[in-house]
């Protein structure tokens, strides 16, 4: 498609964009038979040169530098567009290096359909990570299947990839429903299936070969409760959550862990659909906060003094009360204005959906709950949190999350992906994770699977991975972040059942 568009265009700016797309595509390592098919029907001289570059790249990355050199010799430099010349020289140099073993990974992504934006960002992350691999490491290549965001295409894709013996692992798909379908389809297989984004409970029970790279909802809720009680020392804890499957899963595991730690929530509130109006829920939580306030003596309002048993030893004269002030300070009740700040609830657990953040973050400050907020990764949106009417009220908020928050100066990748970095970096980290367990020997599927499942700790660009403990195919590393001064900072991370409170960032 890009080659056809290139042959029909004369606008230099448009050609530059097309060439950039072509460069990104050919580095995915298109199959050599497919390139030969395209060459047989391509007559444009520049396009033929580009296809020969693609073929040479594939041969070199397949461990056949001599074949790559022979293909490059068939390129007429006069027919090669200037933007491809540097790449041509890189390939020429690569043909003089000793051959390296090629390692192939299967990928199933939604490159079209409902989830195509997520899939294409993830693919860019995969490609960026492969291109950043040091030259002395193995060659990583991808065989990519587009599941079109559909379940039936997911089944077809994973089954075809699993039959290709050169593929050592499969990455994807992204959507939770399609991830479940893929896991079921490969249940009982020995090929590692890396599920990069799903947080479903029980997914890893479908097969020993299923590796869930995101911690499941049970783990997230459990660690949030453990941090609240054991690290923060909170006692009176309220909960407000959406009444959907995600909310129930997180809250159930949170409350079960509280129970094991000898506590129960002082208040549990749910909301349905979008939280456009949470007056009922927050008023109920404030009422509980009032009920937790120390009770005063019931007669103090009228007498202005406290009764003590020692009073019987003294004679009290009416004259003693002549100097009492006439106007008594009004005793406040739970019906009074919400402008009164309440601090009797030590903490509130707020696990929400990402699209609920703008609603909840703007309403929470209105109810003056001076409490420690504990949230999930849906709160990792600095654009919303840093608004003047929100941020100051959420200072010191704790977020239990799989992913860290990036400062822009930490990134060495293209800035285009900063605003949508989640899927990009998930793709990037998948390649880094696989590269960490790939050696030049024993590249069979079972060995790769065993190495992944025994990984104690690995720091990726966005996430930390730890499969220690049971189940050994679930990532049990969760990061503890604190929101303060318009940014998130790391306080440590959970690894299994342990909290690591200091660590060095991955370079």
Q: Structural domain tally of the chain? A: 3
pLDDT 10s digits, 81-104: 888 888 899 889 888 877 767 788
CA 195 – CA 474 distance, rounded (Å): 10
Same domain? 130 vs 7: no
Same domain? 142 vs 173: yes
CA 385 – CA 484 distance, rounded (Å): 10
Same domain? 198 vs 226: no
pLDDT 10s digits, 402-453: 988 754 444 444 444 444 578 999 999 999 999 999 865 667 899 999 999 9
Cβ atoms of 155 and 139 within 8 Å: the answer is no
Closest to 478 measured CA to CA, from 488, 126, 251, 491: 491
Same domain? 242 vs 344: yes
Domain boundary among 94, 115, 140: 94
Beta bridge partners of 195: 212
Residue 132 placed within a domain = yes
Domain boundary among 381, 401, 421: 401
CA 462 – CA 493 distance, rounded (Å): 13
Closest to 84 measured CA to CA, from 43, 50, 35: 50
Distances, alpha carbon 230 to alpha carbons 180, 237, 301, 498, in Å: 34, 13, 40, 11
Residue 498 placed within a domain = no
Same domain? 251 vs 279: yes
Cβ atoms of 32 and 58 within 8 Å: the answer is yes
User: What is the 8-class DSSP label of residue 272?
Assistant: -
Residue 430 placed within a domain = yes
Per-residue pLDDT at 454 exceeds 80: yes
pLDDT 10s digits, 362-416: 999 999 999 999 999 999 999 999 999 999 999 999 999 998 875 444 444 444 4
Where is mean pLDDT largest: 22-26, 75-79, 326-330, 351-355? 351-355
Same domain? 277 vs 350: yes
Domain boundary among 364, 382, 401: 401
Between the two ends of the chain, the Cα-to-Cα distance in Å is 38
CA 185 – CA 193 distance, rounded (Å): 11
Averaged pLDDT for residues 263-282? 96
Close Cβ partners of 198 (under 8 Å, ≥ 6 residues apart): 176, 179, 180, 212, 214
Cβ atoms of 113 and 76 within 8 Å: the answer is no
Residue 500 placed within a domain = no
Cβ atoms of 223 and 400 within 8 Å: the answer is yes
Residue 49 placed within a domain = yes
Q: Rounded to a whole number, what is the largest CA-CA distance in the chain?
A: 117
Same domain? 250 vs 345: yes
Same domain? 122 vs 183: yes
Average pLDDT score over the chain? 85
Cβ atoms of 391 and 468 within 8 Å: the answer is no
Residue 499 placed within a domain = no
Same domain? 235 vs 371: yes
Predicted pLDDT of residue 302: 47
Same domain? 423 vs 381: no
Residue 386 is part of which domain span?
218-294+333-401
Same domain? 397 vs 411: no
**Percent of the chain whose predicted confidence (pLDDT) is above 90:** 57
Same domain? 249 vs 348: yes
Residue 505 placed within a domain = no
pLDDT 10s digits, 157-201: 999 999 999 899 999 999 999 999 999 999 889 999 999 999 999
Residue 319 placed within a domain = no
Lowest mean pLDDT among 211-220, 241-250, 276-285, 411-420: 411-420
For residue 269, give the H/E element and its range: strand 267-271
């Amino acid at each position: 498609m890009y080659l056809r568009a290139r042959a029909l265009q004369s606008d230099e700016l448009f050609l530059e964009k097309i060439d950039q797309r072509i460069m990104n595509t050919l580095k995915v390592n298109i199959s050599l038979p497919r390139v030969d098919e395209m060459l047989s029907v391509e007559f444009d001289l520049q396009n033929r040169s580009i296809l020969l570059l693609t073929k040479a790249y594939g041969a070199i990355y397949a461990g056949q530098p001599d074949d790559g050199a022979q293909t490059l010799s068939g390129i007429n430099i006069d027919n090669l567009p200037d933007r491809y010349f540097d790449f041509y020289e890189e390939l020429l140099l690569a043909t003089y290096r000793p051959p390296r073993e090629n390692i192939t990974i299967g990928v199933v992504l939604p490159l079209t359909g409902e989830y195509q934006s997520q899939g294409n960002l993830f693919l860019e992350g995969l490609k960026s990570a492969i291109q950043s691999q040091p030259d002395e490491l193995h060659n990583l290549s991808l065989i990519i299947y587009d599941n079109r965001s559909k379940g039936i295409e997911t089944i077809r894709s994973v089954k075809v990839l699993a039959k290709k013996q050169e593929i050592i692992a499969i990455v994807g798909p992204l959507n939770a429903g399609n991830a479940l379908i893929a896991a079921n389809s490969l249940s009982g297989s020995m090929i590692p299936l890396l599920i990069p984004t799903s947080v479903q409970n029980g997914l890893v029970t479908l097969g020993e070969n299923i590796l869930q790279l995101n911690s499941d909802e049970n783990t997230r809720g459990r660690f949030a409760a453990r941090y609240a009680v054991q690290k923060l020392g909170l006692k009176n804890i309220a909960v407000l959550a959406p009444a959907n499957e995600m909310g129930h899963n997180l809250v159930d595991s949170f409350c079960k862990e509280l129970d094991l730690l000898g506590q129960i929530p002082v208040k549990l509130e749910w909301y349905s659909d979008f939280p456009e109006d949470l007056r009922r829920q927050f008023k109920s939580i404030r009422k509980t906060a009032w009920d937790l306030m120390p009770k005063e003596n019931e007669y103090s309002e009228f007498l202005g003094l406290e009764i003590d048993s020692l009073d019987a030893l003294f004679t009290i004269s009416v004259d003693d009360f002549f100097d009492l002030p006439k106007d008594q300070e009004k005793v406040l009740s739970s019906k009074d204005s919400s402008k009164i700040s309440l601090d009797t609830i030590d903490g509130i657990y707020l696990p929400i959906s990402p699209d609920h953040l703008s609603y909840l973050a703007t309403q929470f400050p209105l109810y003056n709950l001076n409490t420690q907020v504990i949230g999930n990764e849906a709160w990792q949106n600095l654009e919303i949190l840093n608004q003047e009417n929100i941020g100051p009220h959420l200072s010191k908020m704790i977020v239990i999350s799989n992913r860290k928050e990036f400062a822009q100066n930490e990134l060495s990748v293209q800035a285009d992906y900063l605003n949508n970095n989640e899927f990009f970096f998930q793709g990037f980290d998948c390649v880094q994770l696989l590269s960490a367990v790939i050696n030049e020997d024993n590249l069979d599927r079972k060995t790769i699977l065993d190495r992944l499942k025994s990984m104690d700790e690995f720091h990726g660009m966005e996430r930390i991975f730890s499969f220690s403990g049971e189940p050994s195919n679930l990532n049990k590393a969760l990061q503890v972040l604190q929101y303060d001064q318009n940014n998130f900072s790391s306080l440590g991370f959970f690894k299994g059942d342990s909290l690591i409170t200091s660590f060095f960032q991955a370079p």
